[in-house]
Amino acid sequence: MNVYFDWVVVFQIFCIVQGITTGIYLLITKNKRPSHFWLGLLLLGMTLQVIDYFFSRTGVYYRNRWLYFSPLFFSWSFGPFFYFYVKSLFQKSFRVPLWHFLPFGCQLLFYLVLVFQPLAVKADFWILIHKPYTRYLEYYGACLSVLFYLTYSLSLMRKKNKEPRSLYYFFNGLALFYVTAIIDPIINHYYLAPQAPKFYLTALVLPIFIYGLALISLFKKSGDNIRKKTSVKAVDKDKIRLIVWEMEQNKLYKNPDLSLPMLAQQLGWHPNEVSKLINEGLDKTFADFVNEFRLNEVKDRLLKGEDQQFTLLGIALEAGFNSKTTFNRVFKEQTGMPPKAYKKSTQIIKRNDTAISGS
C-alpha cells in the first residue's frame, strides 16, 4: 500500500510509538501508583487522536474508506484524565463520579455507530451533518472541556505549592495551546481560500505534547525510584524528629499564616533544607505536613467531646485552618469523609464506649 511521507509523518510515527509504549508501560508496570493509571489512559487517548491525523495525512483513509469514522477520536476524555491524574498525585484514593466521562461515552457511541455504516451513509453524513455542524461541536467541546479541567488541575497544584514543578509549567503550556487552538476553524473558514491547504494546529502540535508528557512521566518515575533508594542515606532523621518536635511542642501549626520560611527561622535552618527534609524524609509537601497536625488536633478535640462547647468551625480555626473551605477540603482529602460525617462517627464511638463502660 502506497502512503504519503514527509517530515510531519515521520514525527507522527515517532510520537505514536512513544505514546503507545509509554502508555502501556504505565498501565502494566509493577508497583504502579494511581497516577500512572490515569496518565497511561491519557497518553493512549491522545495517541489515538494522532493515529487519526496520521491516517488522514498519509492517505490511509482515502485508500481504505471503510476506516472512515474509526473510533480513534476521544478528545472529550482528555480533560477528566488530566484532572484525575493530578488529583491522584496528592490523594491516593477518591471517588470518581461517572458523569465526568458521560461526554466521552457519547463520543465513543457516536463513532461506533458510524464506523459500521455503509460508505454511502458515511459520505452523506460527512457532507450534510458532520462537516458543517458536529465536527465543530466536537472540536470546541473538546477545547472547552480540556481548558475547564486544566484550570481545576492547575488550581490544585497551586494549593500544593505548584508541585510537581515540571508538570505545573507543562500544563500551563498546554492550556495556552488549547486557547490558541480555538482559532483553527476561524482561520480555515474565513482567511484561507476554499482550495488552500487547511491549517490544523492540533494536528501539528499535539504530537509534541504527547512526547513531552511521556518524557515527564518516565523521568518522574525514574526519579521517584532514585529518591526511594537514596532518601534513607540523604535525609537526617534526627533533624526530621526535631522538626516534628518543634511543631508539636510549640504548636506552630496553630498559626494560620505559618509558612516554610517561618518554620525554618524558628529552627535556625535554611528554608530549602527544611523543604527537602519534609519532602524526602516524610514524603509530604509542606502544606500537607502542617495540615496533618491541624487535622489531628481537630479529631482529638472531637473525640474529647469539645464540640459540645465549640462549633466545628471554631475548633478548626483554633487548630490553625484559615477558612471553612480549606478545612472542609483538607478534612475530606485526609479522611475520605466530610467533617460533619466524621463528627457523627465520633458520637457513635463515644456512645458505644459509654455503653461498654456502663455494662
Asked if residue 245 and residue 220 are part of one domain, the reply reads no
Structural domain contains residue 2: no
Q: Which among 184, 102, 108 is positioned nearest to 145, based on CA atoms?
A: 102
Whether residues 92 and 223 share a domain: the answer is yes
In-domain check, residue 1: no
In this predicted structure, which of 62-66, 69-73, 98-102, 231-235 has the lowest mean pLDDT? Answer: 231-235
Question: Which pLDDT does position 174 carry in this prediction?
Answer: 85
Per-residue pLDDT at 279? 82
Distance CA 4, CA 58 (A): 4
Q: Residue 295: pLDDT above 60?
A: yes
Contacts for 9 with CB less than 8 Å, ≥ 6 apart: 3, 54, 57, 58
pLDDT band for position 117 (50/70/90)? very high
pLDDT tens-digit readout, 173-182: 888 888 888 8
Does 275 lie in the same domain as 193?
no
- Of all residues in the chain, what percent carry a pLDDT higher than 90? 26
* C-beta of residue 168 within 8 angstroms of C-beta of residue 157: yes
Residue 296 within a domain:
yes
Shared domain check, 26 and 136: yes
Question: For position 232, what pLDDT does the model report?
Answer: 42
Is residue 353 domain-shared with residue 328, that is, in the same domain? Answer: yes
CA distance 345 to 78: 38
Q: What is the C-alpha to C-alpha distance for residues 180 and 94, in angstroms, rounded to an integer?
A: 33
Q: How many domains does the chain have?
A: 2
What does the pLDDT read at residue 204?
A: 72
Chosen domain end from 230, 258, 276 = 230
Least confident of 81-90, 189-198, 247-256, 279-288: 189-198
pLDDT score, position 124: 94
Q: What is the mean pLDDT of residues 153-162?
A: 82
What pLDDT, on a 0 to 100 scale, did the predictor assign at position 226? Answer: 40
Domain finish residue from 179, 205, 230: 230
Closest CA to 287 of 296, 298, 297, 275: 275
Work out the pLDDT band at 128, boundaries 50, 70, 90: very high
Global pTM value: 0.63
In-domain check, residue 298? yes
Mean pLDDT of 345-358: 51
231: pLDDT strictly greater than 50 = no
Are both 59 and 169 inside the same structural domain?
A: yes
Least confident window among 24-28, 53-57, 203-207, 260-264: 203-207
Mean pLDDT, to the nearest integer, of 238-256? 90
Residues 223, 239 share a domain: no
Query: Would you place residue 129 in the very low, low, confident or very high pLDDT band (cuts 50, 70, 90)?
Result: very high
- 109 band by pLDDT with thresholds 50, 70 and 90: very high
Could you check whether the bond before residue 80 is cis, i.e. omega within 30 degrees of 0?
A: no
- Which CATH number does the domain housing residue 320 bear? 1.10.10.60
- 41 part of a folded domain: yes
Range of 200's domain?
A: 7-230
**Among 13-27, 124-138, 193-207, 234-248, which stretch is predicted with the lowest mean pLDDT?**
193-207
pLDDT for 34: 80
Per-residue pLDDT for 300 more than 70? yes
Together in a domain, 282 and 154: no
280 and 226 fall within a common domain: no
What average pLDDT score do residues 114-128 get? Answer: 93
User: Considering the domain boundaries, does residue 23 fall inside one?
Assistant: yes
User: pLDDT confidence of 357, banded at 50, 70, 90?
Assistant: very low
The verdict on 191 and 143 lying in the same domain is yes
Residues 154 and 168: beta-carbon distance below 8 Å: yes
* Structural domain contains residue 88: yes
Q: Would you state the pLDDT for residue 219?
A: 65
User: CB–CB of 131/169 below 8 Å?
Assistant: no
CA neighbor of 60 nearest in space, from 75, 42, 72: 72
Q: Tell me how far apart the alpha carbons of residues 154 and 169 are, in angstroms, rounded to a whole number.
A: 9
Is the CB of residue 336 less than 8 Å from the CB of residue 346?
Answer: no
Give the model's pLDDT for residue 140.
92
CA distance 138 to 103: 10
Last residue of a domain, one of 187, 206, 230: 230
For residues 243 and 290, what is the distance between their CA atoms, to the nearest angstrom?
11
Query: Same domain for 137 and 84?
Result: yes
CA torsion, ordered 219, 223, 225, 227, to nearest 10 deg: 180
Specify if 156 maps to a domain.
yes
Q: What pLDDT digit, counting tens, does each position of 71-100 carry?
A: 998 999 999 999 998 888 877 677 888 999
Please report which helix (H) or strand (E) contains residue 234, including its range: helix 201-234
pLDDT at 217: 66
Question: Do residue 256 and residue 309 come from a single domain?
Answer: yes
| pLDDT of 114 strictly over 90 | yes
Residues 43-59, mean pLDDT to the nearest whole number: 90
